Structure 1
Amino acid sequence: MATPLSKPKLAANLSMIFPEVEFLDRFAAAAAVGFRAVEYLFPYAYAKTEIRARLDSWGLEQVLFNAPPGDFENGERGVAGLPGREDEFRKSIELALDYAATLRCPRIHVMAGLVPLAGDPRRHREVYVENLSWAAGQARNGSVDLMIEPLNAKDFPGYLIGTPQAARSVIEEVGARNIKLQYDFYHAQMTHGRLLDTFAAEQDLIGHVQIAGVPGRNEPDDSQEINYRAVFAGLETMGYGGWIGCEYRPRGETVAGFAWAAPYGIGPKGKRQG
Structure 2
Amino acid sequence: MIDITAAEQFVHANARLIDRHRLAVLLHDAPAAPVLAALRAYRTPDGGFGHGLEPDVRCPGSQTSAVLQALEILVGADALDDPLVDELGDWLTTITNSDGGVPTVLPSADGHPRAPWMVPAPESSFLTYAIAGKLWQAGSKHAWLPKATEWCWTTIEQADGVGGYTVKFALDFLDAVPDPARAAAAVERFRSALDANGNLPVEGGTEDEKITPITLSPHPGTPSRALFTTEQLGADLDRLEAEQLDDGGWDVDYLHWSPGQGLDWRGIATIQAITTLRTNGRL
State the TM-score bracket (shorter-chain normalisation). Answer: 0.3 to 0.5
Question: Structure 1-normalised TM-score?
Answer: 0.35
Question: Structure 2-normalised TM-score?
Answer: 0.34
* Relative contact order, higher structure (CA 8 A, sep 6+): 1
Task: Kindly indicate which of the two structures has a greater share of residues assigned to strand.
Answer: 1
Task: Kindly indicate which of the two structures has a greater share of residues assigned to helix.
Answer: 2
